[in-house]
Chains A and B, each alone.
Chain A
Amino acid sequence: MPGRTRVHRLLPALPSTGVPTTVSRQLSEAIRLGLLAPGEQLPSESDLASQLGVSTASLREALSALRHQGLVETRRGRRGGTFVCGPVESSTSRLRRSLQQRSAIGLRDFGDEWAAVAGTSARLAAARASTAHLDNLDRLVEQLDRASTVGDRGRAHSRFFIEIALASQSERLTRAEVRMQAETGELLWLPTIEPFPLAHAVAALAEIAMAIRSENGLLARDLAESHVQQATRWLVQTRIAEPPEQM
């Protein structure tokens, strides 16, 4: 789990829509992906502002927006500070709109890049993963199996792929994987008439974790690519079918 002080380095650059908006989006993305855990205390305002390279005033404005969204809370007193409340469940209609705004070709292209990143990460992870990474992967498979909400499934699935990237020991692949997950992590779990099959996903992730544990890099890569292809196909097919507003 990356420590809180380095989270900002992993996050994708966002379109500049004003510094406070950008910062609050980056932090809410980190909370949504579970990179900032519920209950975690954020660094002091001046430390966090300097880590993110923004003014204290901009950071305060960003934190105020996050408080408003219920993502963080600020407690006063001796043990005071700003704490992560935990992710707020994304609304299904917002996710559906977000899928409809993407083009089918854009999703295919996303899948091409994700397959490259996830496949290579898995191959390298098989050669480089520590025991802690291997255990985390198993734990995340179980977490996905138990997850019942869109957000929980998205987080477990996303964290699994980010964990593989971390296990690959590559900063660049990790950054790329975080960017992939920030883009579509939850979309995969959108409830539709033909939802992405959870049981298949759990089985696929378990196989990938097993291949990494047995240090079979080529198998791990093939399995990761194949799962990513399944996931991408589902996204493209769902986009082509244009899910109706009401399910």
Chain B
Amino acid sequence: MNGPDVNAGVDGAGADAAAALARAANELFGVLERLSDRFVDVWSSATADLQSSEFLTSDIAALRPDVFAAIDANPAFESAGFVLVEGVVADGPRCLEWWHREPSGDHDRIGFNLEPGTPDCYDYYDKEWFAAAVSGGSRFVSGPLIDLPCADVYILTFSQPIAVSGRLLGVAGADVAVSRFEHRILPPLRNLPRPSLLVNSERRVIASNDARFTTGEKLPTLPGVDDSWSTVQPVTPDLGWVLASGLVG
């Protein structure tokens, strides 16, 4: 941006930090892309050979080892799984297969009531991480937020669209515990001027090198729309994450 040049070299350091932050997010999305690819494999082989063949909820069981391996290999993952567009499973309409890591290390399937219109229905069509992925076909991170259905942990929900020849089938997603992700997103900020913040598109702080601005807090304005910050750099443009540095005034 066009702030005063109070600190020569900040932009270079800021660009490195922005790249490191993007890498931290992309690493986790890489895991979800692989899950998404595996889903497409299983779905294609279940539906391709015969005209009449159908993909059933039970077919997702073949993907459990992949989900468990993804959870086990990524300590920041609180839970992960697949959430499908209506009609993708023949015995649907909806389907959500989500696995949680127990403190013991076991995997536990989280049961949701998906029956629309019932009082405790978990309507995933309402969730922004689902809507953004299946309507726009773009990856999305929502939060940080306290996830009550999943053991009241403070999380970011990462969702990666699953698409096959232009058709969106659903998302591969993961709930990422903020407390176990911050060691990836705090170090890039550490040597930047204070305050430097990673901010999402709802102007909420995801990570900060300054305790006056804590994770979860909403800034009065989105960095970049006014002159509040001396530098604002995109981190991951598709996610709407920016790195704001140096509060002006």
Contact = CB atoms under 8 A, between A and B. Distances in A.
A179 interface: no
Contacts of B212: 233
A240 B214 contact: no
A192 interface: no
B69 interface: no
A108 B215 contact: yes
A233 B211 contact: yes
Nearest to A234: B211
Which of A104, A106, A108, A234 has most B Cβ within 10 Å? A104
B210 A237 contact: yes
Contacts of B128: none
B52 interface: no
Contacts of B186: 104, 240
B154 interface: yes
Nearest to A230: B211
Interface string A222-247: 00000000001111110011100000
Contacts of B183: 103
Contacts of B159: none
Nearest to B194: A237
Interface in B6-41: none
A105 interface: yes
Contact of B154 (A109, A232, A240): A109
B190 A105 contact: no
Interface string B32-55: 000000000000000000000000
B190 A240 contact: yes
B190 A103 contact: no
Nearest to A103: B179
Contacts of A106: 179
Chain A contact patch, size range = 10 to 19
Contacts of A234: 211
Contacts of A103: 178-180, 182-183
Interface in B176-225: 178-180, 182-183, 186, 189-190, 208-212, 214-216
Contacts of B190: 240-242
A232 B211 CA distance: 8
B216 to A, nearest CB: 7
A105 B211 contact: no
A236 B214 contact: yes
Which of B210, B211, B214 has most A Cβ within 10 Å? B211
Contacts of A104: 182, 186, 215
A234 B212 CA distance: 9
A193 to B, nearest CB: 14
A234 B208 CA distance: 14
Contacts of A109: 154
Contacts of A241: 190
Contacts of B154: 105, 109
Contacts of B182: 103-105
Which of A109, A233, A240 has most B Cβ within 10 Å? A240
B153 to A, nearest CB: 11
Interface of A: 103-106, 108-109, 232-237, 240-242
- Report the 4 A-B pairs with minimum CB-CB distance, sorted nearest first: A236-B211, A103-B179, A237-B211, A233-B211
25 contacts: A103-B180, A104-B182, A104-B186, A105-B144, A105-B154, A105-B178, A105-B182, A105-B216, A106-B179, A232-B211, A233-B211, A234-B211, A235-B211, A236-B211, A236-B214, A237-B210, A237-B211, A240-B186, A240-B189, A240-B190, A240-B208, A240-B209, A240-B211, A241-B190, A242-B190
Interface of B: 144, 154, 178-180, 182-183, 186, 189-190, 208-212, 214-216
